[in-house]
Structure formats: C-alpha cells, structure tokens
Amino acid sequence: MSDMENLKFPIGKFNAPETITTAHVKTWIEILKNFPNRIATATEGLTDEQLEKQYRPNGWTIRQVVHHCADSHMNSLIRFKLTLTENTPIIKPYFEDLWAELSDYNGPIQSSVKMLEGIHERWTKLLENLTEIELEKQFLHPENNELISLKKNIGIYAWHCNHHLAHILIAKNN
C-alpha cells in the first residue's frame, strides 16, 4: 500500500469475516457504544487551529471528520430503522464530500459530539435488542447494487468509528 493509501486507510479497509458470529456483533456494538466518549476524549481541548489540521494532504480536517461522523452515523441509524420496518429498502446515499463543504462544517464540534452521544445511545439500545432474524435483514445500496445485512453494517460502522479516530490521531500529531 502506498503512503497516501496508508494515510487514507490507516487501519486498512473494512474486511467482513466470511461468517459473522454473535461474538463479532457484540464486539462491534461495544465499539459503537464507546465511540462518542472516544471521539470526545481525542478532541478534548483542541484549539480552532488544531481542529484545522488534516490527516493527509487534501484530506478532511479534524473538525470536518467529527462533523462527518455525526452526519454519517445519523444516516446509518435511519438506514437501520428503514431496514427493520421495510422489506429490503433501497437506501438514500448522500454526497459526504459535498456535505463537508457546507457551512455547518466550519462551526464548533461540540454540537456534533452531542449528536454522536445521542445517536449512539439510541443506536446501541436498538442493536443490543436485535434478534437473529433482524440481524439478517438487508438493505440495497444503490451505488453498487449491494445487499448489505444489518449485522455486516454493524461491522462496517464499528470500522468507520476506528477509521476516523485514527484520522483524528494522525492529524493531531501532524
């Protein structure tokens, strides 16, 4: 992997296990449960100047990463609820790079940290109570026509948490 690729994916790309076990799901839910505290700790006391540090050239700033996580995880919670209440819904993608250019991404990160706290509290409550049948439910991602099960998506978002925390830590040390 190139240096730029290592900076873009410091923990590697998500690679789902061939068989997703109950132990995988429980571990991933714990990552999701602890994420708001981990991101708050990683960004605590950062100045506006430090929040503008990037994890790679032409990458997002720490500020943008925090706001992105709030937006992404909000969208994911909605996708979970749609999947639990509809028959294989087609999810709505969004242009995260364009969202990162909107004016709310220039503001303080505290609102996004608070959003993450609330979203993850609700999300983990939902996830901890899913049945085996519900974990197998799927949505269709229209960008690649992939059917994604809820249990796989739990893993994707546990990876997403660790992926962006790594970006924040890299940026802090730049």
> Which position has the token pair 């799901």?
25
Residue 8 domain-assigned (yes or no): no
Model confidence band, residue 1 (pLDDT cutoffs 50, 70, 90) = low
Residue 13 domain-assigned (yes or no): no
Residue 114 domain-assigned (yes or no): yes
* φ/ψ of residue 11, rounded to 5: -110, 10
Residue 33 domain-assigned (yes or no): yes
pLDDT over 90 (residue 97): yes
pLDDT of residue 4: 82
Residue 14 domain-assigned (yes or no): no
Residue 6 domain-assigned (yes or no): no
Total domains present in the chain: 1
Name the residue range of residue 157's domain.
21-173
Q: CATH number of the domain that 115 lies in?
A: 1.20.120.450
Residue 9 domain-assigned (yes or no): no
- Determine the average pLDDT of the residues in 17-38: 98
Is the full-model pTM beyond 0.85? yes
Residue 158 domain-assigned (yes or no): yes
How far apart, in whole angstroms, are the C-alpha atoms of residue 158 and residue 170?
A: 19
What's the pLDDT tens digit per position in 117-171?
999 999 999 999 999 999 999 999 999 999 999 999 999 999 999 999 999 999 9
* φ/ψ of residue 105, rounded to 5: -80, -10
